[in-house]
Amino acid sequence: MAVRGIRGATSVEKDSAEEVLSATRELLNELLKANCIHEFDEIVSAIFTTSPDLTSTFPAEAARAIGMKQVPLLCASEIAVPSSLPRCIRVLLHVNTDKKQTEITHVYLREAKRLRPDMASAQ
């Protein structure tokens, strides 16, 4: 069994804890569904990042709220690149899987779809 990375991103309209948590839950649910992850034991760890303009809450709180209580989670801030997408939440899930790299589905929602126009799956 390999450890694979699954990427995802979304955005919010404003920096509020409610919006950040809601958008993060939506993103995580879509990632889990798209990659047929049914048990949190399959998830090795998750790294969340936010653009520098999001400071209201930790996106990892949304993961804990949906049941990822034993999954190691980390939050960080993205580099403040001038042309980067504002109010953006990103995640990198590390999962144990028998899937090949080409079978992994990365998910980009809302304005974050602009980050990876080459990825049409699950959007």
In a domain, 27, yes or no: yes
Its domain, for residue 25, covers: 2-115
Catalytic residue among 25, 26, 61, 75: 75
In a domain, 104, yes or no: yes
pLDDT interval class at 120 (50, 70, 90)? low
Mark whether 64 is an active-site residue.
yes
Spell 75-107 as b/e; 16+ CB within 10 A means b. Answer: beebeeeeeebebbbbbbbbbebeeeeeebbbb
**Whole-prediction pTM value?**
0.92
Q: What is the mean pLDDT of residues 17-28?
A: 98
In a domain, 121, yes or no: no
Catalytic residue among 7, 26, 61, 111: 7
For the chain, how far is it from start to end, CA to CA, in angstroms? 27
Mark whether 4 is an active-site residue.
no
In a domain, 122, yes or no: no
Mark whether 87 is an active-site residue.
no
Q: What is the CATH number for 24?
A: 3.30.1330.40
In a domain, 123, yes or no: no
Instruction: Kindly report the average pLDDT of the chain as a whole number.
Output: 94
Mark whether 111 is an active-site residue.
no
Mark whether 25 is an active-site residue.
no
Mark whether 26 is an active-site residue.
no
**Count of domains for the chain:** 1
Is residue 122 pLDDT above 50, yes or no?
no
